[in-house]
Amino acid sequence: MAGLYTGSHGRHDLHDDEHDGGIQTHDEMKKTKICKICGDEIGLKENGEMFVACHVCGFPVCQPCYDYERTEGHQSCPQCHTRYKRHKVAGKDFDGEKEAYTAEEWKERVEKWKTRQEKRGLVTKADDVGNEQDDDDYVLMAEARQPLWRKVPIPSRLISPYRIVIVIRFIILCFFFHFRILTPAYDAFALWLISVICEIWFGVSWILDQFPKWLPINRETYLDRLSLRFEREGEPSRLLPVDFFVSTVDPLKEPPIITANTVLSILAVDYPVEKVCCYVSDDGASMLLFDSLSETAEFGRRWVPFCKKYSIEPRAPEFYFNEKIDYLKDKVQPTFVKDRRAMKREYEEFKVRMNALVSKAQKKPEEGWVMQDGTPWPGNNTRDHPGMIQVYLGSEGALDIEGKELPRLVYVSREKRPGYQHHKKAGAENALIRVSAVLTNAPFILNLDCDHYVNNSKAVREAMCFLMDPQVGKKLCYVQFPQRFDGIDRHDRYANRNVVFFDINMKGLDGIQGPVYVGTGCVFNRQALYGYDPPTSEKRPKMTCDCWPSWCCCCCGGSRKPKSKKKGLKAMLGLGAYSKKKKMMGKQYTRKSSVPAFDLEEIEEGLEGYDELEKSSLMSQKNFEKRFGMSPNFIASTLMEEGGLPEGSNPTSLIKEAIHVISCGYEEKTEWGKELGWIYGSITEDILTGFKMHCRGWRSVYCTPKRPAFKGSAPINLSDRLHQVLRWALGSVEIFLSRHCPLWYGYGGKLKLLERLAYINTIVYPFTSIALLAYCTLPAVCLLTGKFIVPTLNNLASIWFIALFLSIIATGVLELRWSGVSIEDWWRNEQFWVIGGVSAHLFAVFQGLLKVLAGVDTNFTVTTKAADDAEFGELYLFKWTTLLIPPTTLIILNMVGVVAGISGAINNGYGSWGPLFGKLFFAFWVIVHLYPFLKGLMGRQNRTPTIVVLWSILLASIFSLVWVRIDPFLPKQTGPILKQCGVEC
């Protein structure tokens, strides 16, 4: 191996070829080719011939990349997509069955390579004397060439039975519906019809939820290889920069101490400091947050070096000091205890200062807030204020207490004026995209909610293993991490952890086209946010030959036309990458490559010699401005695929431009929120944003490191949890009623079928609440009326019922086996599916219909973030909300039904007990699923608020009286009652 790969952009070192003074012969140089995947030399086989991976098109690929493609990739040529065949090498089959080599195997391979070099006269044996230590370097470089990550498929013994049971369950479901539809219960036809409609809807929902989990996978990263490849000793780090986005709205509802911990965990992240910048979006223009960030920056000067010196985890001080573990484990430096004690004392003083700021902010002065320098705070009117930017720390700001550089921290509050639509969180995130592009322009963006701190300091490196991968990195729109939470009780009464979604559904999507974007803990490719399509593989070049004159192009299907001079001029200008257009959703977009930023006027001036057709194939300055807005600096930044700022940038002018791009009118008549950035049209902008990217053909990756990357706080009391679920469901309803509905949007794109099913499931699940409410009411009706939704069962029908019940159990058990989710978490998820379905989801459907069809908007209340030191202090906190009425009514109805059913069976004798068991099972199913709701309703004092009891009893009584008075389930007599006389006439 003549050159070992050390970067994703074709850098390689010659090692012995240079150091030993070896010079390649002319024949060898003629044979040398560069691998189109990793940029290294392809090299020769043992018989001296050039290694050729594909014998169809001859696409140049080196042997290690061929190895990787055979084992972990698509097993086919990247150019012509012909399946790779095994190579015969020295009488043995070579098919790259090994993904990685041990140190001993690599040493053996290096020795073979040295032997070949000696035969070629490039290395002498004398050169190797005393250089045994170089072998370790060769092993390290060989290790660096290995893939940065790999897929870990679910073992066949776990996934194969799971898939078989899914198919069996689908078949049983078809026979079950055949029986239910063809055998109506005529004595309770209305009940039967409602139940069948509900069951069909449940069946469709199950298909939408189940089949996207057909191909679940796990992924494993290799951080040591990332360091070996991009952080070589004695050289500057070649890891790409990352911009962090933290969004907040109201610091009184989202405590500043929580936001401060998130910011501190970002500043202390294990990544080169010059490649990290943290942007905090204050969408409430609060001086409290402004002052708290100033305090946070000052404390960070002490906190960051402490974290890095002792490699502590997590690097959010509140959660680090509250950990109930042995903090001395694995610590060997004697000064650690002393420094930790001092740092804890400083953090407590920092909290006191933050509390003083919060206390001061409780009451706003009549003349408005005044800053420390005596000037009025520009954001005194939160709905009418200019854009504000403040830069803390960084190379030009304060250094840490050891004199070392810190990551830059930037406070951003976008301009707001009456009469403008600001689009809430999505608009704030888009403002951060533009500000960061002007000030730092990192190629990757990591966005976090203010209450989600960095729990794993190496989380960014985990994402870089995918995004900087030379094979798949350019095609990834984002790397999504699972959400994990602190402060939830062990039993997780209201399924706050959402483990089933994050550990089952998301892993299933990762095996298709990638997980959905969940709003936080996500590392984006900035180019994907700009609305560009992913890069496509180069087309296979046409075969040509010299056996016919130049005017004949029929031989071998080739052509011998010389290249146009104008094309050559384009190549010299570096504009060739802009000449190709791509169609997406009926619009034209240009695909760009990694080229430096050009002045737009110079681009126009360089095209005078081209005809109109060629001019139209390039994006003009006018088209740039129509798409991105009127900012030359920002437009220039979009042309730089690997980020960075133009040479000679003036910091003062950049700040002025940054203020311009966050003005409230900047997005007018542009594609922001339509095709660029976070997409508008729903309060769940995360689903829309990821959906648009997948429609363009981008892929995403789900990264689940052993130590959770990020952790956040969840609303653990019942009322806040229901309001959170209400917001999510309302956003899904909005998407369902918009032009971006996955049922009909994006069929001209590159969205895969199973991925589309998953997106359809994310926007139709709230409508399941209607069927669920009806189905939970049916048991009480059946018990009160003595009727049932199923007629008398025969043996065959009983088999279908039992088979369906067993298949449901088997699917759940096998799903838990391959995912590792506990049965308790699965059961909590099932319970809350019913609780949320008959309350929050139901309200979301009606509110969504009112908002979209009638224009009646509903205000979104920010979920309160817990800042109370008492463990689970909010678990029993009760807050009145109308969402509590439907499930409370259902519990009372079913309990009344159970009492009425048992009383009727006692009065009617032994024969009535058989039919009663099915109805009782049905009712108990509802009560058991609603039990956590009933427990939460009682609160800490085990008493339910009077208003809830009164409303629920009132509704249950009205329903019972209507049943007694109308009794719609009994046949009505319209004439005289005729009875058989008993005499055969």
The rounded Cα 58 to chain-centroid distance in angstroms is 38
The answer to whether 283 is a known catalytic residue is yes
CA–CA distance, 125 with 141 (Å, rounded to integer): 21
In sequence order, which residues have a C-beta less than 8 Å from that of residue 954 and are 6 or more positions away?
A: none
Amino acid at site 952: S
Q: How many Cβ atoms sit within 10 Å of the Cβ of residue 759?
A: 27
Contact 263, 666 (CB under 8 A): no
Q: How many Cβ atoms sit within 10 Å of the Cβ of residue 92?
A: 9
Contact 464, 240 (CB under 8 A): yes
CA–CA distance, 507 with 704 (Å, rounded to integer): 9
Angle subtended by helix axes 753-764 and 718-736, to nearest 10: 120
Residue ranges at the known binding site for Mn(2+): 425, 449
Amino acid at site 849: L
Residue 44 DSSP symbol: B
Handedness of CA 866, 870, 871, 875 (dihedral sign): negative
Residue carrying structure tokens 């963006």: 445
Catalytic residue among 40, 283, 291, 400: 283
CA distances to 51, 70, 98 from 54, rounded to whole Å, are 9, 12, 19
Q: Of 618, 583, 627, 615, which is closest to residue 598 (Cα–Cα)?
A: 618
Amino acid at site 858: T
449 bridge partner residues: 247
Query: Which of helix, strand or coil describes residue 411?
Result: strand
Tell me the pairing of strands 476-480 and 522-525: antiparallel
Sheet holding 242-248, edge to edge: 388-393, 408-413, 276-282, 242-248, 444-449, 522-525, 476-480, 699-702
In sequence order, which residues have a C-beta less than 8 Å from that of residue 133 and are 6 or more positions away?
A: none
CA distances to 153, 478, 526 from 447, rounded to whole Å, are 29, 11, 12
CA–CA distance, 467 with 477 (Å, rounded to integer): 9
Contact 145, 64 (CB under 8 A): yes
Residue ranges at the known binding site for UDP-alpha-D-glucose: 247, 253-254, 283, 424
89 bridge partner residues: 92
Residue ranges at the known binding site: 247, 253-254, 283, 424-425, 449
Q: How far apart are the first and last CA of the chain?
A: 107
Handedness of CA 712, 247, 445, 644 (dihedral sign): negative
Catalytic residue among 40, 291, 451, 686: 686
| Residue 317: half-sphere exposure toward Cβ, Cα within 13 Å | 28
The rounded Cα 660 to chain-centroid distance in angstroms is 30
CA–CA distance, 775 with 191 (Å, rounded to integer): 10
CA distances to 215, 217, 374, 918 from 509, rounded to whole Å, are 7, 9, 55, 38
Amino acid at site 260: A
How are the residues of the chain apportioned to helix, strand and coil, as percentages rounded to the nearest 5? 50, 10, 40
The rounded Cα 586 to chain-centroid distance in angstroms is 27
Residue carrying structure tokens 């403040």: 390
In sequence order, which residues have a C-beta less than 8 Å from that of residue 386 and are 6 or more positions away?
A: 378, 415, 659
Buried b (16+ CB within 10 A) or exposed e, 289-303: bbbbbbbbbebbbbb
Q: Of 217, 81, 95, 214, which is closest to residue 149 (Cα–Cα)?
A: 217
The answer to whether 503 is a known catalytic residue is no
Residue 975 DSSP symbol: S
Q: How many Cβ atoms sit within 10 Å of the Cβ of residue 325?
A: 6
CA–CA distance, 397 with 405 (Å, rounded to integer): 9
Catalytically active residues are 283, 686
